A = this chain, B = another copy of it.
Amino acid sequence: METQDQAIRVVIVDDHQIFRTGLRAELGPELEVIGEAADVDAAVEIIERERPEVVLLDVHLPGGAGGGGAEVLRRTAGVPGVRCLALSVSDAADDVVSVIRAGARGYLTKTASGAEVTAAVVRVRGGDAVFSPRLAGFVLDAFGAGTGETALADDELDRLSAREQEVMRMIARGYAYKEVAAELFLSVKTVETHVSNVLRKLQLSNRHELTAWALSRRLL
């Protein structure tokens, strides 16, 4: 780890340019913004290249397989030394759960001030988990109490690998196999294998049931 008097290296991921500019302006001098990204693919690229200490990550993002901020977390899970702080206008339970389960170290709503975001980044870099006050209780309910295997925990979704989830989302949206293959630079046969595994793991029989399943979990 670097010495403490160095600025914390931060990347901002948000599809709104105006919000990115505002965040840059409001963040304290103890943070140094070393990059920005506006969609899933660009975010993954810059995180792997720059290895920031903290990523300020919007939950709702275009691009990629449509997985938003959670997809960025999954695709950069192997990059060492990077911690992500989710930032969203939404305080919906599903959003919070999905992004936390994907590996975010905190969750702030965009009503936070620049000073609050700055303080949260410092704490996340130090290893803490940070949540907006009105989310804290909810998060404890969903994760802390009991065994951790709570009702909101989506163990079925977790049984799918990252790649399978990626393919699953596109199939559920009606993409043809060849379209998925072209989009992800895969062979059609590979896509078939993934879909087959997904259907077997979820005990579904065809793509229509998969669409209904994904819709019922608000994965689309």
Residues in A lying within 8 Å of B, measured CB to CB = 15-26, 60, 89, 110-114, 117, 173-176, 206, 208-209, 211-212
Q: Is A25 in contact with B25, judged by CB distance below 8 angstroms? A: yes
A-B contact pairs, 16 of them (CB 8 A): A15-B111, A16-B22, A17-B22, A18-B23, A18-B110, A18-B112, A18-B113, A18-B117, A19-B19, A21-B21, A21-B25, A22-B22, A22-B23, A22-B25, A174-B208, A176-B208
Q: Shortest CB–CB separation between residue A62 and chain B, in angstroms?
A: 9
Q: A21-B26, A174-B211, A176-B206 known; 20 other A-B pairs, CB under 8 Å?
A: A16-B19, A16-B89, A16-B110, A17-B22, A18-B19, A18-B110, A18-B113, A18-B114, A18-B117, A19-B19, A19-B110, A21-B21, A21-B114, A22-B23, A22-B24, A22-B25, A173-B208, A174-B209, A175-B208, A176-B208
Residues of chain B contacted by A208 (CB below 8 angstroms)? 173-176
Q: Is B17 in contact with A20, judged by CB distance below 8 angstroms? A: no
Q: Is A17 in contact with B114, judged by CB distance below 8 angstroms? A: yes
* Those 5 A-B pairs whose CB atoms lie nearest each other, nearest first: A22-B22, A174-B208, A21-B22, A18-B22, A16-B110
Q: Is A17 in contact with B21, judged by CB distance below 8 angstroms? A: no
Who on chain B is nearest to A27 by CB?
Answer: B18
Number of copies of this chain that the complex holds: 2
Q: Is B17 in contact with A19, judged by CB distance below 8 angstroms? A: no
- Residue from B24, B111, B209 within 8 A of A16 (CB atoms): B111
Q: Shortest CB–CB separation between residue A171 and chain B, in angstroms?
A: 10
Residues of chain B contacted by A173 (CB below 8 angstroms)? 208
Q: How far is the CA of A110 from the CA of B114 in the complex (A)?
A: 19
Residues of chain B contacted by A60 (CB below 8 angstroms)? 89
Residues of chain B contacted by A114 (CB below 8 angstroms)? 17-18, 21
Q: How far is the CA of A73 from the CA of B93 in the complex (A)?
A: 31
Who on chain B is nearest to A113 by CB?
Answer: B17
Residues of chain B contacted by A212 (CB below 8 angstroms)? 174
